[in-house]
Structure 1
């Protein structure tokens, strides 16, 4: 059961085209994972991002992010000419994603590819559209209308379109046919490239851990098309929104702003919306990490008019009834529960009842701002858990050491026996590899020894997040060899390689 993996967002892979893609660098990273004895590649959500660029606020729970489509791979199959994309300035800094440049330039290039796609592969694309009609019809119209209205959120559209009145919807579909075909074609390209990468991962023995946000963005095709599943008023405005209460990291709490689920309605229709969403994710991933697991036990509800999260209250979630419904539909699939944050005895009981592994974050073991304390110290880990040094919401190992309270860092150094010879980042990773946790996942930035410049996200902040990128050559043979040695020492090699000598 002992295994290991690396958390590396696709967007963070190197490429000449401004952002990591599903192309060559992703394939080479699979080689690195296999050569270093890893079992898992953990990703962040891969949906289409909007304002703020957060993968946890996508325009759809089903669609893939157009930015991840690899342009070289499109050229290889005759959908692009090299001169149509190679001379464009996609970024000003290869170590950062410039989402503004991508927004301005990527879709113009993809339009050329999609035009050729429909001209040369119409039957295959139409077959895809028919298969994915459940979500693709709403998403393609949503994106077309969004473009028509200058990017404005759907809550600012004309009332007849906000309420999806039949005559207005039919008229919009007719008038925007070419735009709708474009968005459908983009999804065909994404799915085709994703399926090739997923097949390659399977061939190399790498399982992909995906991430499903518990909430969806208000400005999404999900909420627009299924408003009855959310806590909305008669004019389709949220009555209460999601967030989390104040803690040691945020005095005002976190006001996420996502519309909350109408759990009463969802329970009445057998959780159909949720079950379809989770079933779909297992087409992409081998393992699914459910974000904000505690929200299924009790969720924090903040009045939509509130300025901070301080005004919120805890409300009962669907509990075990929901996860029993999930198991009936998808079976006993591997699911990770993101059980971080303010936990109560009932959350612990729900985790126990589901049997899912929870998460243990090493940084929380020493950080007095969080108060996690002993439960996050490796000697207290249960076997059925996933151990991390930090997640995408935490600083890197070296970043944490340089910014945490000196007393906390001193305790970590004493407990973990950190030293500069091994490298303090390697000492922190060693702690989770050597623990009894069945699964140990490290961030790529910690393997590279990066400080806070490698941080992916700082919660409750806008700007500067989700931008970090590795430089070419980051996944070197020397690093793979060093990582493989750790896997042998701590018996975390994939099952078929367990017999290799340490």
Structure 2
């Protein structure tokens, strides 16, 4: 449950400007934290940080625990002693897109060299830190490093296409491949060590400046992931280890055939046999990495739409009840009654989902772009928003607010003016001000809206497989005037300016 009026900015690290082909955890991230401080903000929200696959989607990762090595900043590795300045690729041409293919092509060989140098001449203290990291994270790291090494050996084939002995993790095969791929496994562990070394240092810096980090936990995992390969018994799989029931949502107002996401569904009854240990480990790790955590598709903790994998659409599915209540009670036992979780509760909600959310006091999400297409009972209208909520003009799945506004016909625009009693001639700042002035205790503004960017700068178009996640901002665009405008407006509406950790009162 939220307790203070605050505000923040939504920006994924890949969208940061910098010298690499995508944004990184290096100097550009620290400058962004400083910009948040200057703008009087207290929260940085980002998307999942896991290693990405096809389409570069952060919600489709090879691991629910690992970090994306492409976010590693190479310059910081020169400071750590793992690279020389001469080892670095030239600065990537300044462009307004995140080029993931170039990042992989240019950065992976340098990261491999960094691992080689670390192995040969790394300092004793740093090698000790590496060994401690490997020991502490062994529960997920060993299997992840082997999984990535096998993927590389088998030329990125899905794990279901590997030889049956290793596909099904037979002990002799596991030992054989671990020995055969020993060097690559060590390299993968090094990548994770460096990623989390850089991430946790950045988080510490942000926290010391009074900035909370707001992470994102997808409810489902990808079929081609170490999580499914390692825990086959926890998922609905057939005899060939392929998903037999997959996730999605049924037909609704937005789609006559529903949405078939394709993620394998969990066998929750099996998970309950060991008190949901996989989920507890996942939450435990994420709550070390983030101060707040958005639970994507929260309704999936109450019930899931189960689609037979042979179906090509989501029309012929059925609802399966999910024991989310038991899981959240276990989390309360470990982390206390007030869990720092935000429920992504968008879409059509049934009473059981609302009851689950409210029983644990989880703030829900309110999207202003959804507020003006129905009558006064619309739950997204500012007048209908509860204080225990996170309000947005739009999210990463929406158009930019300027793009949304420009896409409305005159009648729809007039409807917005009538609801807000505002001429709306300063869009998107009209909607930013609406969010900041609302009763919701936390307001999050996408950086695209702060920069008044058009539809071409949106982050994602749901239902499309390519061309997403590429937006990247120009560092000069976040000017001193814009920072001051955001600070003044946040202060006007009582959004607490960030307070460095050492100045905060004791809890």
Asked whether the two chains share a fold, i.e. TM above 0.5, the reply is yes
Matched-pair contact (CA < 8 Å) for 1:208–1:285: yes
Question: What corresponds to 1:439 in structure 2?
Answer: 442
Check if 1:401 corresponds to 2:405: yes
2:16 is aligned, of 13, 16, 20, to 13
Compute the displacement of 1:123 (Å): 3.0
Compute the displacement of 1:329 (Å): 2.3
Compute the displacement of 1:210 (Å): 0.3
Question: What corresponds to 1:64 in structure 2?
Answer: 67
Matched-pair contact (CA < 8 Å) for 1:64–1:191: yes
CA–CA distance in structure 2, aligned partners of residues 274 and 360 of structure 1: 26
CA–CA distance in structure 1, aligned partners of residues 448 and 67 of structure 2: 25
The aligned runs of 1:119-198 (5 Å cut-off) are 119-121=120-122, 122-198=127-203
CA–CA distance in structure 1, aligned partners of residues 161 and 411 of structure 2: 50
CA–CA distance in structure 2, aligned partners of residues 311 and 367 of structure 1: 29
Matched-pair contact (CA < 8 Å) for 1:367–1:373: no
Distance 1:417 1:18, change over 3 A: farther
Question: What corresponds to 1:410 in structure 2?
Answer: 414
Matched-pair contact (CA < 8 Å) for 1:125–1:188: yes
Compute the displacement of 1:120 (Å): 3.0
**CA deviation profile, 1:67-126 (whole Å, cap 9, x unmatched):** 1101111122222223323337xx666111122222223211110111112223333322
Matched-pair contact (CA < 8 Å) for 1:7–1:443: yes
Matched-pair contact (CA < 8 Å) for 2:41–2:498: no
1:283 is aligned, of 282, 285, 288, to 288
Matched-pair contact (CA < 8 Å) for 1:418–1:424: no
CA–CA distance in structure 2, aligned partners of residues 388 and 473 of structure 1: 24
Q: Flag structure 2 segments of 5+ consecutive residues without an equivalent.
A: none
Question: What corresponds to 1:361 in structure 2?
Answer: 367
2:461 is aligned, of 454, 458, 462, to 458
Matched-pair contact (CA < 8 Å) for 1:118–1:125: no
CA–CA distance in structure 1, aligned partners of residues 451 and 459 of structure 2: 14
Check if 1:323 corresponds to 2:328: yes
Question: What corresponds to 2:241 in structure 1?
Answer: 236
CA–CA distance in structure 1, aligned partners of residues 246 and 13 of structure 2: 29
CA–CA distance in structure 2, aligned partners of residues 116 and 33 of structure 1: 36
Distance 1:420 1:404, change over 3 A: closer
Compute the displacement of 1:417 (Å): 4.2
CA–CA distance in structure 1, aligned partners of residues 199 and 138 of structure 2: 19
TM-score, structure 1 normalization = 0.95
The aligned runs of 1:28-67 (5 Å cut-off) are 28-67=31-70
3-state DSSP of counterpart to 2:428 = helix
CA–CA distance in structure 2, aligned partners of residues 78 and 419 of structure 1: 57
Provide the aligned length of Structure 1 versus Structure 2: 493
Distance 1:84 1:314, change over 3 A: same
**Deviating more after overlay: 406-415 vs 460-469:** 406-415
**CA deviation profile, 1:321-369 (whole Å, cap 9, x unmatched):** 221112112323311011112211111111111111001110111246x
**CA deviation profile, 1:422-474 (whole Å, cap 9, x unmatched):** x2100001111111111110100000001111111111101111110001223
Question: What corresponds to 1:305 in structure 2?
Answer: 310
Compute the displacement of 1:217 (Å): 0.6
Matched-pair contact (CA < 8 Å) for 1:367–1:404: no
**Deviating more after overlay: 210-219 vs 372-381:** 372-381
The aligned runs of 1:193-342 (5 Å cut-off) are 193-331=198-336, 332-342=338-348
Compute the displacement of 1:493 (Å): 2.0
Compute the displacement of 1:52 (Å): 1.4
Distance 1:244 1:142, change over 3 A: same
CA–CA distance in structure 1, aligned partners of residues 324 and 101 of structure 2: 40
CA–CA distance in structure 1, aligned partners of residues 377 and 146 of structure 2: 49
3-state DSSP of counterpart to 1:208 = strand
Distance 1:367 1:95, change over 3 A: farther
Question: What corresponds to 1:77 in structure 2?
Answer: 80
CA RMSD of the aligned region, Å? 1.8
Compute the displacement of 1:495 (Å): 6.7
Compute the displacement of 1:246 (Å): 2.6
Matched-pair contact (CA < 8 Å) for 1:364–1:373: no
Check if 1:391 corresponds to 2:395: yes
The aligned runs of 1:371-390 (5 Å cut-off) are 374-390=378-394
Question: What corresponds to 1:490 in structure 2?
Answer: 493
